[in-house]
Each structure stands twice: as C-alpha cells, then as structure tokens.
Structure 1
C-alpha cells in the first residue's frame, strides 16, 4: 500500500504541481453553469405550462 504524503511532499517530488488559478477559465465555467441553470429553469417552466394547458383543456371538455 502506498505511503501517505502531505501536499508539500507531493509538490517537492513533482507528483502534483502548483499552478496559478486561471481566472478566465473559471469565469467561463461559471457563465456556462449559469446558462445551463437558466435553460433548465426555462425547460421546466415550459413543461409546467404545457402540462397546465393539457389539464385545463381536459377540464373544459368535462
């Protein structure tokens, strides 16, 4: 079983590397997540309205 190592040992041995955060990529990822959330909300809203219209239509027939 491999021996446990702390972060400092891992970076010293080159197992992991320190990097500077990519702010542009983080901003793009956040923007994409927000767009997906908006799309999901719209999709659910559209389905809810469609279901409501179907129920209303059935109620009018009775």
Structure 2
C-alpha cells in the first residue's frame, strides 16, 4: 500500500523485533492508522475486531 511517497506492507515486524505493526483496516480508506501489537491478546483482538481482514493477512497475523 502506498501512502504519500512511502510503501507500507499490511503487517511488519517492529524495529524492536518484539512486536508487530499493522495497518488498522477498520479506518480505511478515510484514515491511515498504524497499530503496534506486542501480545497474544492484542493479536486476538486485532483479528476478532477486524483490524486485519482477509484470510492471508489473518493467517500471517495469527502466526
């Protein structure tokens, strides 16, 4: 996904290598928000509340 001049993946490992960052898809296309998730409970919330959507992205997030 391109935002301005920068390319973003939908999920990536954070710089500290202890959490992941995702594009919160609940707000698209009106807003662009990045969420940092560092716990299993946070991942479960992101999947349950549809911060991430689509089978491939849900699978990668769960892994």
| TM-score between both structures, scaled by the size of structure 2 | 0.20
Structure of greater Rg: 1
Higher relative contact order (CA 8 A, sep 6+): 2
Larger helix percent: 1
